[in-house]
Structure formats: C-alpha cells, structure tokens
Amino acid sequence: MTATVGDLGGERIKLTSAQRERAELQLAREKLDVLPVEYIKPFMENFCFAIRRAVLTSALLAPEQDKIFKELSSLSPAEIAAAAVAAAKKDKP
C-alpha cells in the first residue's frame, strides 16, 4: 500500500501540529504556567494541613478559628491552584 502526495501533506500537517502542541506544553511547564497534578495534589494537601495546624495552635478563640476555616472552605479549587502556582514560582531557583 502506497501513500499519495496529498496523504503525506496531511500527515506532515498533523505531525507539525502535534509537535507544536508538545512544545507549547513543555514551555508552559518550564514557566510553571501548567503544573502536573502529581505536584499540585500533595502541595495542596500539605498547604491545607499547615494552615489548619497554624490556626488550631494559635491563640485565637474557637469562634475566630471557625470563621477562618469557613472563609478557607469557600475558596474555589482555582483560587487554591493559583496559590499553589504562586508558591511554586517563588520556590523555583
């Protein structure tokens, strides 16, 4: 089975497009505009645990602690992810 000239052109376009998308994703990762889930999930768990521990061990009264936890629970995943990206950029050498 042989490929026609038109088929080769289409395949080259697909290949070029895939290579461009891969390069864009790699650049985004290098700039930390995109972070792998494997990085974000443990970071968010540690972040939330550290905040909880800091609030619970503070001198704040229970009603003040409850208010903080209520405000934190209202954060969207996007807001938490934005905090994670900001922290990752800060930690990047």
**Over the stretch 6-18, which tens digit does the pLDDT of each residue have?**
677 788 888 898 8
Residue-wise pLDDT tens digits, 48-67:
888 899 999 999 999 999 99
Q: Would you give the distance in Å from CA 33 to the centre of its chain?
A: 8
Whose structure tokens read 């895939």? Answer: 18
In 10 A of CB 89, how many CB atoms?
12
pLDDT given for residue 92 in this prediction: 60
Q: What would the two tokens of residue 87 be?
A: 């922290």
Separation of alpha carbons 46 and 27, rounded Å: 27
* Among the listed residues 76, 54, 74, 75, the one whose alpha carbon sits nearest the alpha carbon of residue 65: 54
**Domain edges within the chain:** 1-31, 35-93
**Percent of the chain, pLDDT > 70?**
84
